[in-house]
Amino acid sequence: MSKLTIPVNYKALMDPNQTEQGIKFIKDFFQQSLASALRLRRVTAPLFVLSGTGINDDLSGTERPVRFAVKDMGDAKAEIVHSLAKWKRMTLADYAIAPGFGIYTDMNAIRADEELDNLHSMYVDQWDWEAVINPEDRNVAFLKQVVTRIYNAVLQTEYMVCERFPGISPILPREITFIHAEELRQMYPDKTPKERESLITKKYGAVFIIGIGGCLADGKPHDMRAPDYDDWSTVDAASGLAGLNGDIMLWYPVLDTAVELSSMGIRVDRDAMLRQLELSGQQQRADLYFHKRLLGGELPLSIGGGIGQSRLCMFMLRKGHIGEIQASIWPDEMRRECKRHGMSLI
């Protein structure tokens, strides 16, 4: 059976009707807070894109997209998006968004290769956002400023949820802690990256781990990232460490684990794109539509990421399984076990 964690002494704090009310409240409130904090406006996004254009997000580079043939286009192949990391950047250019402003959208995806558990579903819903930046913003100090604004929106949301639903108490710290993946490796050299994430997030409650995708001093990356959206190879002048991206991690006592709420970062410029394609041995991607536009100077410098909608709602409503928040497909045995322990999957 897929991996399942049974929360200790779990009892849902809300019935299904209250849960649905909570989901709507959180989604409405958070997206407005996020849009205000980052000066974003909502745009309409695709569910699928044409294969072979380089537009789809490759995630860690190993996940297979769901593909299908389009009858009325001569059976041209299309694929369900994994996320919209590259599409958003093209949209910034097409809409002529000015520096300091950006866009966000409701992104829905299918990730058929996902390993199903309490936090991971084949159905992915997130707020995908992207903002135009200036050349002088391409540094870790600016990245931290943006992360802090996002975290403050999360804090505001938790406060409002606790006000509206008195059975829920706040658990987030007032500030988020920043640490580079190399510093984390040095702190826990005998631990795996996931174990390090758990230890540091439990210690501080909310952490942003910088530098995801590039090799650390031991020759291994903290985690994998595709080479053509986040900039994980540029060395920051102030810190001397590579990586202008990272993950927002929250400690979740219900499951006694660290939860990744968002993967985000400053995006590659022309030099970083070429460097990372070479480092990953994927120079052939330079001939794809998205990559040609970027290398040709048609796309603006940007920062962006995704924030899990169901995952944020799960965290705020203190649910034991993401299937209590969203409708998806789960193994029969998992459904039975969840029901037996008070987790009613939609």
Question: Which residues are catalytic, by number?
Answer: 57, 111, 126, 247, 260, 263
Evaluate whether 165 touches 18 at the Cβ level (below 8 Å): yes
Q: Residue 88 and residue 38: Cα distance in Å, rounded?
A: 15
Strand locations in 254-329 (E)? 257-266, 302-308
For tokens 């949209």, what's the residue?
Answer: 91
Q: Which residues contact 318 (CB under 8 A, 6 or more apart)?
A: 13, 168, 254
Evaluate whether 236 touches 244 at the Cβ level (below 8 Å): yes
Evaluate whether 158 touches 35 at the Cβ level (below 8 Å): no
DSSP β-ladder status, 123-132 and 177-180: unpaired
Could you give the maximum distance between any two Cα atoms of the chain, in Å? 57
CA dihedral of 9, 15, 157, 213, whole degrees rounded to 10: 60
| C-beta contacts of 151-158 below 8 A and 24+ residues apart | 151/175, 151/176, 151/206, 151/208, 151/248, 152/37, 153/30, 153/33, 153/34, 153/37, 154/30, 154/250, 154/261, 154/312, 156/29, 156/33, 157/26, 157/29, 157/30, 157/33, 157/312, 157/316, 158/316
Q: Residue 236 and residue 242: Cα distance in Å, rounded?
A: 6
